[in-house]
């Protein structure tokens, strides 16, 4: 029987994972769900979802919101701060997230309608236009009175909503600003001491590095957050994921191919989707075999390089001088940290010389940072480390 390509790929490389393909994170989900229940009983909570780039912070926060909305009766707003680097920007983006939330869109309450009409200009075929002038004018007072602002939103949504979830995501732009740390601490403290706290689950998503920056600006922030650390997927979670995704389109993965996909993804969800997607498109039969898996790895290396590795780094790594080093270092068995001397053992004299300049260059480009001990180096970003590994596949 001829293999018929089944329309849509089950993988979602660029988006948060749909709920049915979400795997793992059981402990973190349970913990944050418990926090959500506390909030519904009136006790505010704050959680920092901590993890490397592409590890699944946004997806986890989204899942928590969906679950808490369905089961706990909270109402959530997911605020993607992106390039925003000021509290005014944060206030504006929060209003946008509130306007776009299901609870607000579906509400028939006249107070909510009034709120919406303050900021929405006209409705067009493609959605709505925001009254940016008004939003800009109001931003300073919203951010200064952020807690009263949240309280008024909560009061208009209550009693249908038992509390709010505010997710502050993509904080790279704002985390370096000292006022962000103060803002977080003030928000949580003011709420705790107010007679009737707003039942608020505050979730901040970011890397460990960004958490460090925030705490550096204002030490006491450390006391307000419970940390939910998310790490690379286990072997079992990786294969469950590939099985589930391919089953969705009536395809299977044979054992050898499964080992390759699991191994080369490094348990990094972003890579799992890229690899799976590549394998899906390359496959010419309904079973993913070893050859398909290897081609998928090679194809993904290219894509990871182009999309996720800093362009200066990408260019440097493509130079002829570094090609062998890239391969040998990539193939070497370590997580993120390696010893210079251990790699050197694999290199010939000429490569050793190049290796030194290579390390200096990578340090300068912020790809590598010093490890715990002398002579140790650490990759700052797991995707770059895995880019090295992906590149070691073709011989």
Can you give the binding site for ligand ATP, defined by CB under 6 A?
12-13, 15-17, 21-25, 51, 53-59, 241, 269-270, 273
61 CB contacts (<8 Å, ≥6 apart)?
49, 78, 167, 169, 203, 205
| String of DSSP letters for 345-361 | TTS-HHHHHHHHHHHHH
Residue placing its CB nearer to Mg ion in the complex, 24 or 197:
24
Q: In angstroms, give the least distance from the CB of 382 to ligand ATP.
A: 10
Q: Is 191 in the site for Mg ion (CB under 5 A)?
A: no
Quick one: what does residue 269 bind among ligand ATP, Mg ion, none, with the CB cut-off 5 to 8 Å set by partner type? Answer: ligand ATP
Residue placing its CB nearer to ligand ATP in the complex, 55 or 166:
55
Q: What is the CA radius of gyration of the chain?
A: 24
- The residue of the chain with the least Cβ separation from Mg ion equals 58
Q: In angstroms, give the least distance from the CB of 50 to Mg ion.
A: 12
Q: In angstroms, give the least distance from the CB of 271 to ligand ATP.
A: 8
Residue placing its CB nearer to ligand ATP in the complex, 25 or 151:
25
- Residue 263 contacts residue 393 (beta carbons within 8 Å): no
Q: How many CB atoms lie within 10 A of CB 364?
A: 11
Quick one: what does residue 187 bind among Mg ion, ligand ATP, none, with the CB cut-off 5 to 8 Å set by partner type? Answer: none
Residue placing its CB nearer to ligand ATP in the complex, 210 or 361:
210
Cα separation, 393 vs 297, whole angstroms: 7
Backbone angles phi, psi at 283, to 5 degrees: -55, 135
Strand-strand pairing, 376-379 and 368-370:
antiparallel
Residue placing its CB nearer to Mg ion in the complex, 148 or 176:
176
Task: Choose one: 54-62, 97-105, 185-193, 288-296; the region binding Mg ion (CB under 5 A).
Answer: 54-62
Residue placing its CB nearer to Mg ion in the complex, 55 or 253:
55
Cα separation, 343 vs 362, whole angstroms: 15
Q: In angstroms, give the least distance from the CB of 230 to ligand ATP.
A: 8
Q: In angstroms, give the least distance from the CB of 80 to ligand ATP.
A: 9
Cα separation, 128 vs 342, whole angstroms: 58
Q: Is 58 in the site for Mg ion (CB under 5 A)?
A: yes
Residue placing its CB nearer to ligand ATP in the complex, 192 or 229:
229
CA angle at 152 for the pair 147 and 157, rounded to the nearest 5°: 125
Q: Is 381 in the site for Mg ion (CB under 5 A)?
A: no
The helix or strand, by DSSP H or E, that contains position 370, with its residue range, turns out to be strand 368-370
Task: Choose one: 56-64, 86-94, 153-161, 383-391; the region binding Mg ion (CB under 5 A).
Answer: 56-64
Residue placing its CB nearer to Mg ion in the complex, 230 or 288:
230
Q: In angstroms, give the least distance from the CB of 381 to ligand ATP.
A: 10
Cα separation, 32 vs 60, whole angstroms: 10
DSSP 79: E
Q: In angstroms, give the least distance from the CB of 356 to ligand ATP.
A: 32
Encode burial over 236-259: b for 16+ CB neighbours within 10 A, e otherwise. ebbbebbeebbebeebebeeebbe
Encode burial over 24-49: b for 16+ CB neighbours within 10 A, e otherwise. bbeebbebbbebbbbbbeeebbbbbb
Quick one: what does residue 100 bind among ligand ATP, Mg ion, none, with the CB cut-off 5 to 8 Å set by partner type? Answer: none
Token pair 């709505």 is at which residue? 128
Interacting residues with Mg ion (CB under 5 A): 57-58
């Amino acid at each position: 029987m001829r293999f018929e390509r089944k329309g849509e790929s089950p993988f979602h490389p660029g988006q948060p994972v749909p709920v049915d393909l979400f795997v793992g994170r059981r402990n973190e989900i349970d913990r944050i769900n418990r926090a959500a229940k506390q909030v519904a009983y009136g006790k505010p909570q704050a959680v920092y979802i901590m993890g490397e780039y592409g590890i699944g912070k946004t997806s986890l926060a989204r899942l928590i919101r969906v679950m808490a909305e369905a089961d706990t009766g909270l109402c959530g707003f997911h605020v993607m701060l992106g390039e925003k680097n000021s509290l005014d920007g944060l206030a504006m983006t929060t209003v946008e997230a509130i306007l776009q939330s299901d609870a607000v869109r579906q509400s028939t309450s006249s107070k909510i309608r009034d709120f919406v009409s303050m900021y929405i200009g006209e409705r067009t075929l493609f959605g709505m236009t925001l009254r940016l002038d008004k939003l800009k004018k109001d931003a300073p007072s919203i951010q200064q009175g952020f807690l009263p602002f949240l309280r008024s939103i909560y009061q208009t949504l209550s009693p249908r909503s038992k509390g709010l979830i505010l997710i502050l995501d993509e904080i790279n732009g704002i985390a370096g600003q000292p006022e962000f740390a103060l803002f977080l601490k003030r928000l949580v403290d003011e709420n705790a001491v107010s007679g009737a706290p707003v039942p608020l689950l505050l979730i901040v998503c970011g890397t460990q590095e960004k958490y460090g920056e925030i705490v550096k600006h204002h030490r006491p922030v450390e006391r307000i957050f419970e940390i939910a650390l998310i790490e690379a997927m286990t072997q079992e979670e990786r294969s469950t994921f590939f099985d589930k995704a391919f089953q969705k389109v009536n395809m299977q993965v044979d054992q050898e191919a499964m080992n390759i996909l699991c191994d080369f993804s490094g348990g990094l969800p972003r890579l799992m989707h890229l690899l799976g997607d590549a394998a899906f498109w390359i496959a010419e039969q309904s079973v993913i075999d070893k050859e398909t898996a290897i081609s998928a790895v090679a194809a993904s290396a290219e894509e990871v390089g182009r999309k996720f590795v800093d362009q200066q780094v990408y260019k440097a790594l493509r130079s002829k001088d570094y090609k062998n080093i890239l391969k040998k270092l990539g193939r070497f068995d370590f997580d993120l940290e390696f010893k210079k001397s251990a790699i050197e053992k694999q290199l010939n004299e000429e490569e050793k010389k190049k290796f030194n300049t290579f390390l200096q260059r990578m340090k300068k480009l912020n790809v590598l940072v010093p490890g715990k001990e002398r002579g140790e180096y650490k990759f700052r970003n797991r995707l770059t480390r895995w880019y090295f590994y992906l590149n070691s596949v073709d011989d």
